[in-house]
């Protein structure tokens, strides 16, 4: 039988598209049940009015992650306490696309939205890693000229490379570290402006994540650092 650890491990790879943190880190996993080769997961969000497109992406990605677990033949993901729970839950159960559920709210699905937030996540993780490198004693000029092979092994490096690979950007050892979200190297005279923009993106994501944690804790009476609730 599938283990609870395997289910949580799969869900830890599913991220809130706007906050770039996993469902388990954010405390969005409310409950899970395993019975034979079937898994049932309940998700909860910080507010009743969280955007339906973000909610759909998370529920859909969670179901796909569960179905990828060896031995799982049936996966059900239920979104609780949301104004669009009924529509989203029914749509996901029937494997519908978002535009089939909300035909007037999107043109061409959610690919563009997902790509936008992946690019923001990439820029934020780059800024985070840049700050770590400078804090470790490297000069800004040295960091600006680093190649991927020069990056030290760390959790920050792994997250940065993961986000970079998601966008289909070059992750070969000889590739430059500092590039924009389109994969273009940052010119020396544009580096300061790029880093200011990256810091602004990073602060925005961090602030939204903190707000969502607080709202979730208040809504459900949870400890603010709780990652996964058990009922």
pLDDT at 68: 98
Residue 125, CB-side half-sphere exposure with 13 Å CA sphere: 24
Query: Looking at 71-150, which runs of residues are DSSP E strands?
Result: 74-79
Q: Report the C-alpha gap between 195 and 123 in whole angstroms.
A: 9
pTM of the model: 0.90
Going from the first residue of the chain to its last (231 residues), give the mean pLDDT of each consecutive group of 10, the final group possibly shorter. 94 96 97 97 97 94 97 97 96 92 70 92 98 96 97 97 97 98 96 97 96 96 59 37
Nearest to 178 by CA among 145, 135, 132, 137: 145
Neighbours of 161 (CB within 10 A): 16
pLDDT at 109: 64
Q: Report the C-alpha gap between 160 and 127 in whole angstroms.
A: 9
pLDDT at 105: 67
Structural domains of the chain in order of their starting residue, each with its CATH number: 4-107 (3.30.300.130), 112-186 (no CATH)
pLDDT at 106: 56
HEC profile of 59-87: HHHHHHHHHCCCCCCEEEEEECCCCCHHH
Sheet bearing 74-79, strands edge to edge: 29-35, 38-43, 74-79
Q: Report the C-alpha gap between 41 and 39 in whole angstroms.
A: 7
Buried b (16+ CB within 10 A) or exposed e, 176-202: bbbbbbeeeebeeeebeebbeebbebb
pLDDT at 1: 79
Neighbours of 20 (CB within 10 A): 21
């Amino acid at each position: 039988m599938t283990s609870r650890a395997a289910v949580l491990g799969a869900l830890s790879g599913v991220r809130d598209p706007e906050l770039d943190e996993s469902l388990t880190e954010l405390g969005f996993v409310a409950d899970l049940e395993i019975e034979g080769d079937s898994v049932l997961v309940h998700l909860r969000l910080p507010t009743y009015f969280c955007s339906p497109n973000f909610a759909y992406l998370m529920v859909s990605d969670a179901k796909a992650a569960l179905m990828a677990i060896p031995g799982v033949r049936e996966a059900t993901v239920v979104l609780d306490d949301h104004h669009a729970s009924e529509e989203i839950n029914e749509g996901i159960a029937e494997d519908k696309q978002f535009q089939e559920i909300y035909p007037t709210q999107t043109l061409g699905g959610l690919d563009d939205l997902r790509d936008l937030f992946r690019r923001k996540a990439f820029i934020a993780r780059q800024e985070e890693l840049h700050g770590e490198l400078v804090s470790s004693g490297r000069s800004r000029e040295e960091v600006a000229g680093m190649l991927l092979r020069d990056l030290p092994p760390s959790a920050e490096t792994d997250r940065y490379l993961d986000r970079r690979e998601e966008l289909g950007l070059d992750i070969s050892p000889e590739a430059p570290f500092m590039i924009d979200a389109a994969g273009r190297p940052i010119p020396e005279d544009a580096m300061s402006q790029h880093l200011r923009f990256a810091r602004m993106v990073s602060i925005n994501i961090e602030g939204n994540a903190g707000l969502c944690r607080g709202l979730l804790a208040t809504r459900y009476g949870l400890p603010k650092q709780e990652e996964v609730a058990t009922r």
